[in-house]
Amino acid sequence: MKLTALQQQSRRSNSFRGSSPLDSSMDGAIKSPVTIFWLVLHGLCCLISLVLGFRFSRLVFFLLFSNTSNTMTSNNLYSTSSFGNPSEPLAFQSTLGAVTSTSTSLPAMNLTTAAASGTSSSRVVVGRHGILIRPWPHPNPAEVMMAHRLIERVQREQRMQYGVKNPRAVIAITPTYVRTFQTLHLTGVMHSLMNVPYDLVWIVVEAGAVTNETASLLAKSGLTTIHVEYGKKMPILWEDRHKLEAKMRLHALRLVREKKLDGIVIFADDSNMLSMELFDEIQNVNQFGAVSVGILAHSGGDGEDETAVVQKEEEKNSGLPVQGPACNSSNHLVGWQTFNSATFMERSARYVGDRAIVLPRKMEWAGFVLNSRLVWRDAEDKPDWVRDLDEVAADEEDVESPLSFVKDASVVEPLGSCGRKVMIWWLRVEARADSKFPAGWVINPPLDVTVPAKRTPWPDAPPELPLPAGEMAVVLQENAEKHATKTRSTRKRRSKRKHATRTIDERVSTRHAGEN
């Protein structure tokens, strides 16, 4: 015991912080039985520690001397570092009194608060302290929630101080129609709009009639929505579709005028991607602003030859796939940047559901934001460079972009650090023309079995079990009302099975079930 204590002292004094005087008696190699015994014991302890992985002597000492343990530990806490030196605990207790001797009488002590001189002894004890760990050092979920609420409140305060002052409402206009990808696209836009921290009005214009599908989607959002219909059905050709969408947007603008909605109008097409910074940025618009739109034109590309050729074209093109305002060095609007789609023209899609690339028009509606007062019938401070809504609609058969509303394009305000920041992406992806999808993406009646569930789902593998296919067919039979012909055929199958060999029949029956 003493040997280990002495060795610890010597180790401590060898380190940078060592201050204790070395006991020189350690140096002599005294070969008495006692020292040999202690050496052997020490070696044994070392071996055990190696095996265990920690210095268990500390634990032993802690347990042995826990009755004299220091006052640092309170009832709910335990201290990890126990004392290697048995005389330490005594010293701890003594330092709590005002010991004013200037020399350290205890040997090999690193606790020298005893040396604190004359004036009031410090309440803070110098020397070794226990490391206090609470019994269950893991996060408390209630506190984590409180912390998150705090963080939220701090961030709200930050937004109030450094963010947009007097935020205006946002009016989002989305033309849509029921098709396979409608849920995909509308859900994306919906979730983006749900995260906008400002007041929002969402005007959804549906081509054809107002459908329950769209209405049920919109109901999930919890946003203020105005769901209107636009008489005509959506055409198949992309050209016509672009034109109809423009007309739908004008219809929505008429709605804004009628209801005198106040705010900032943005055109959130249902397949576009909007970033949250966009909504913060458009708060800066005064009357009519433009943002840069990233064009994701390589959608629906197929086949390796296609992509290889497209890549070569891209290198030749070297224009950025961005549409938006272009500024000079003093951040004044000097022109427009647009996506050079000439190289893709031959290969572009013509009808909705075509597998080729869908190209944008010269300037998409999505890249413009306007103050809703510009479309009001009689606003007091309406600038004179804006044309009336009805006038524009009557003038042009096809309003390609909101730039038609302004007589002079130089009044457009470039946003997003003068068009350098792209915060909105344009994409047109639709399902293949021959795709079918269940109404509302709810599968009713349930699907036919293509592969029975009780074995690995690879149709090539030979079926092991004869009956499950037949059983499955029976279950289906009960549910299916429409498929009268199928039930008749399955009944036939079942009777056939009795005669022919198993495997052939199974394959036949599964194939037939799959076809139906």
Partner 1 sequence: MRNWRWGLIGIVFLAFVIRTEAWKFSKAQHEHTERISGSAGDVLEDDPVGRLKVFVYELPSKYNKKILQKDPRCLTHMFAAEIYMHRFLLSSPVRTLNPEEADWFYTPVYTTCDLTPNGLPLPFKSPRMMRSAIQLISSNWPYWNRTEGADHFFIVPHDFGACFHYQEEKAIERGILPLLQRATLVQTFGQRNHVCLKDGSITIPPYAPPQKMQAHLIPPNTPRSIFVYFRGLFYDVGNDPEGGYYARGARASVWENFKDNPLFDISTEHPTTYYEDMQRAIFCLCPLGWAPWSPRLVEAVIFGCIPVIIADDIVLPFADAIPWEEIGVFVAEKDVPKLDTILTSIPTEVILRKQRLLANPSMKQAMLFPQPAQSRDAFHQILNGLARKLPHDRSTFLKPGEKILNWTAGPVGDLKPW
Residue with tokens 């004036």: 119
Work out how close the CB of 278 gets to partner 1 at its nearest, in angstroms, rounded to a whole number. Answer: 16
377 is a contact residue toward partner 1 (CB under 8 A): no
Q: Which stretch binds partner 1 (CB under 8 A): 157-165, 395-403, 414-422, 462-470?
A: 157-165
**x/- track of binding to partner 1 for residues 54-93 (CB under 8 A):** ------------------x-x--x--xx--x---------
Cβ atoms within 10 Å, residue 490: 23
Q: Are 177 and 186 in contact (CB under 8 A)?
A: no
The 8 Å CB, 24+ separation contacts for 302-311 are 302/355, 306/347, 310/344, 310/347, 310/357
Three-state secondary structure call for residue 266: strand
Q: Which stretch binds partner 1 (CB under 8 A): 143-151, 421-429, 445-453, 466-474?
A: 143-151
Work out how close the CB of 386 gets to partner 1 at its nearest, in angstroms, rounded to a whole number. Answer: 32
Which of 21, 43, 107, 163 binds partner 1 (CB under 8 A)? It is 163
Cα separation of 305 and 311, whole Å?
10
CB nearer to partner 1: give 15 or 485. Answer: 15
Which of 26, 40, 154, 236 binds partner 1 (CB under 8 A)? It is 154
Size of the site for partner 1 (CB under 8 A): 54
For strand 292-295 and strand 422-426, is the pairing parallel, antiparallel, or unpaired? parallel
CB nearer to partner 1: give 55 or 483. Answer: 55
Cα separation of 209 and 230, whole Å?
7
Buried b / exposed e over 303-336, threshold 16 CB at 10 Å, is eeebeeebeeeeeebeeebbbbbbbeeeeebeeb
Cα separation of 60 and 8, whole Å?
16
417 is a contact residue toward partner 1 (CB under 8 A): no
Structure tokens at 459: 């149709």
Work out how close the CB of 329 gets to partner 1 at its nearest, in angstroms, rounded to a whole number. Answer: 23
Of the candidates 249, 276, 272, the residue with the CA atom closest to the CA atom of residue 400? 249
Work out how close the CB of 137 gets to partner 1 at its nearest, in angstroms, rounded to a whole number. Answer: 4
CB nearer to partner 1: give 110 or 323. Answer: 110
Three-state secondary structure call for residue 176: strand
CA atoms within 13 A on the CB side of 451: 12
Work out how close the CB of 435 gets to partner 1 at its nearest, in angstroms, rounded to a whole number. Answer: 42
Cα separation of 287 and 413, whole Å?
8
Touching partner 1, residues 115-134 (CB under 8 A): 115-117, 119-134
Work out how close the CB of 364 gets to partner 1 at its nearest, in angstroms, rounded to a whole number. Answer: 29
Which of 2, 153, 312, 316 binds partner 1 (CB under 8 A)? It is 153
Which of 1, 21, 63, 157 binds partner 1 (CB under 8 A)? It is 157
139 is a contact residue toward partner 1 (CB under 8 A): yes
19 is a contact residue toward partner 1 (CB under 8 A): yes
CB nearer to partner 1: give 116 or 273. Answer: 116
Work out how close the CB of 78 gets to partner 1 at its nearest, in angstroms, rounded to a whole number. Answer: 10
CB nearer to partner 1: give 15 or 479. Answer: 15
Cβ atoms within 10 Å, residue 100: 12
Work out how close the CB of 322 gets to partner 1 at its nearest, in angstroms, rounded to a whole number. Answer: 24
Work out how close the CB of 146 gets to partner 1 at its nearest, in angstroms, rounded to a whole number. Answer: 4
Q: Are 451 and 372 in contact (CB under 8 A)?
A: no
138 is a contact residue toward partner 1 (CB under 8 A): yes
**x/- track of binding to partner 1 for residues 232-271 (CB under 8 A):** ----------------------------------------
Work out how close the CB of 502 gets to partner 1 at its nearest, in angstroms, rounded to a whole number. Answer: 58
End-to-end CA distance of the chain: 86
**Residue-wise DSSP of 336-391:** EE----GGGGGGB--BTT-SSBPPP-SS-GGGEEEEGGGGSSS-TT--TTBPPHHH
Work out how close the CB of 1 gets to partner 1 at its nearest, in angstroms, rounded to a whole number. Answer: 18
146 is a contact residue toward partner 1 (CB under 8 A): yes
Cα separation of 420 and 480, whole Å?
58
Q: Which residues bind partner 1 (CB under 8 A)?
A: 15-17, 19, 72, 74, 77, 80-81, 84, 102, 110-113, 115-117, 119-134, 137-140, 143-144, 146-147, 149-151, 153-155, 157-159, 161-163
